[in-house]
Amino acid sequence: MAKRRAAPVLAAVLLCLSAAAARKCNLQGLWKNQLGSNMTLSALDAEGTFTGSYHTAVADTNKRILVSPLRGAQQPGTKGQATFGFTVQWQFTDSVTAFVGQCFVDHRGKETLETTWLLREEVPTRRDSWKATRIGTNTFTRVKG
């Protein structure tokens, strides 16, 4: 009797696992992070490269924040949870940021980008280099629309 009950449960579990495996992350679209910054990523080309734009909600400057271009590449992987990297060339300050991350798709199909970034700003002398690099993390979720 226990074997008869286990078969449907096992089948349901396998169906859920195969559906989750079929969900692949799609980087294209509009994303927002926990600080309110927005990022738009264009479609991937055949080599896995993409472009886009980044509009930060936070900056250490008195200048007007401008939308800035980004360029990146995706390593599609075999499990659908793609890794990627991109750089943002800030248009309002003398700095650049490199992001690396991975896209995760949960069992409900929700996509999340977990990223780590390094920001390097220009400093006047090599002696000031110690304060020129910052590191942080961002979590992006897809903006529906």
- What confidence score (pLDDT) does residue 20 get? 46
Q: How far apart are CA 31 and CA 39, in angstroms?
A: 5
pLDDT of res. 3:
56
Per-residue pLDDT of the chain (145 residues; tens, 9 = 90+): 555 555 554 444 444 444 444 568 889 999 999 999 999 999 889 899 999 999 999 877 788 889 999 999 999 777 778 899 999 999 999 999 999 999 999 989 999 999 999 999 999 999 999 999 999 999 999 998 6
Determine the pLDDT at residue 4: 58
Contacts for 134-140 with beta carbons within 8 Å, 24 or more apart? 138/33, 138/34, 138/35, 138/37, 138/99, 138/113, 139/33, 139/34, 139/112, 139/113, 139/114, 139/115, 140/31, 140/32, 140/33, 140/39, 140/112, 140/113, 140/115
Hey, where are the domains in the chain?
24-142
Q: Please tell me the CATH code under which domain 24-142 is placed.
A: 2.40.128.30
Six-digit token string for 97: 């940021």
**The residue type at 130:** W
